Amino acid sequence: METHLRGDATEATVIAELKRRAIPVSKPVGDNERYDILVETPENRILRVQIKTGRLTDGKIDFHTRSQHTNSAGNSYEKYEGDVDYFFVYTPELETIHVVGEREFDSSMKLRVEEPEQVHHTINWAEEYEFDGRWPPQPDDCNHKMRDQIVDTVAAELKGQELSVARSLNLDECDLLVEPDDGQFQRITVTPGWLRDGCVTFDPDSTDRERIDWFVVYAAEIETCYLVSSEEFDRSISLRVDDDVQNRPQINWAEEYELASRVDHLI
């Protein structure tokens, strides 16, 4: 089957499956949009979805998400960065639909269906991306990988300071465990932060604070990590980034909480 027909067949199959599940689907007028369909979630969120055909090779589903253009200068390639929210990957051989967030990978991804000869922690198991298990998608679903990377970055930063650091096996409790010289484990969780009115804030209420010693707050807008002790605030804390305010003693200046300069607090 030639490529266009195959893409059309995949799109038709996915739309039919969504309709069968009574999920509202809309098609954009014309073909100038980079997403294929708009899907409405039960919470009335509208998601931009690009439908892709998955190829089953060597026990894994392989799919690429890159568009190619030809111009006078030759070929150019463009990713879907920010243009879509999710990819729905339909694999004809398996008749399955997998849901992958746009931020969960760069330009291609492999979903492992069969047991590999060697098990890597980097393997993306297809069953974890199956439609039934991921629909409706949670607002932070597409941030899992980014969060994972942040945890890795924080771990590397701590190791660089010659700290004994390990990934927590119980992710419901914390992300990292640090063992200082006194042997008293410090429990660290990584949490997203956001900029509001010149301050970085986060939501500690979504975490069981009884089990956390330190919060690493990652503010994506400014690509900065902050280290905050659970004892340094009562219900919430704001870290002021914007210095265009009157200097008051109660202001928590963000730069004083930057992870790189506070690692010694964990020792």
Residue in 70, 184, 246, 250 binding DNA, rule: CB under 7 A: 70
CA distance 165 to 157: 10
Two tokens, residue 92: 């004809």
Q: Given the structure tokens 């930057």, which residue do they identify?
A: 258
Residue in 117, 172, 210, 231 binding DNA, rule: CB under 7 A: 117
Two tokens, residue 49: 């979805």
- Does 112 sit near DNA (CB under 7 A)? yes
- Does 240 sit near DNA (CB under 7 A)? no
Residue in 21, 26, 28, 108 binding DNA, rule: CB under 7 A: 108
Phi and psi of 70, rounded to 5°?
-115, 135
Looking at the chain, which runs of residues are DSSP E strands? 25-26, 37-40, 46-53, 55-57, 60-64, 67-71, 74-78, 86-91, 96-101, 108-112, 164-167, 176-179, 186-196, 199-202, 214-219, 224-229, 238-240
| Pair 107, 79: CB distance under 8 Å | yes
- Does 248 sit near DNA (CB under 7 A)? no
CA distance 134 to 21: 14
- Does 75 sit near DNA (CB under 7 A)? yes
Per-residue binding letters, 184-223, with DNA (x by CB under 7 A): ----------------------------------------
Choice between 34 and 209, CB closer to DNA: 34
Q: Which of residues 7-66 bind DNA (CB under 7 A)?
A: 7, 10, 31, 34, 36, 50, 52-53, 55, 58, 60, 62, 64, 66
Residue in 20, 22, 29, 77 binding DNA, rule: CB under 7 A: 77
| Residues near DNA (CB under 7 A), total | 43
CA dihedral 241, 246, 247, 249 (to 10 degrees): -100
Quote the least distance from Cβ 184 to DNA, whole Å.
27
Segment near DNA (CB under 7 A); pick from 6-14, 134-142, 157-165, 211-219: 6-14
- Does 118 sit near DNA (CB under 7 A)? yes
- Does 107 sit near DNA (CB under 7 A)? yes
CA distance 51 to 246: 51
CA distance 152 to 121: 13
Contacts of 6 by beta carbon, 8 Å cutoff, 6+ apart = 53
Choice between 103 and 265, CB closer to DNA: 103
Q: Interface residues with DNA (CB under 7 A)?
A: 2-4, 6-7, 10, 31, 34, 36, 50, 52-53, 55, 58, 60, 62, 64, 66-72, 75, 77-78, 105-110, 112, 116-124
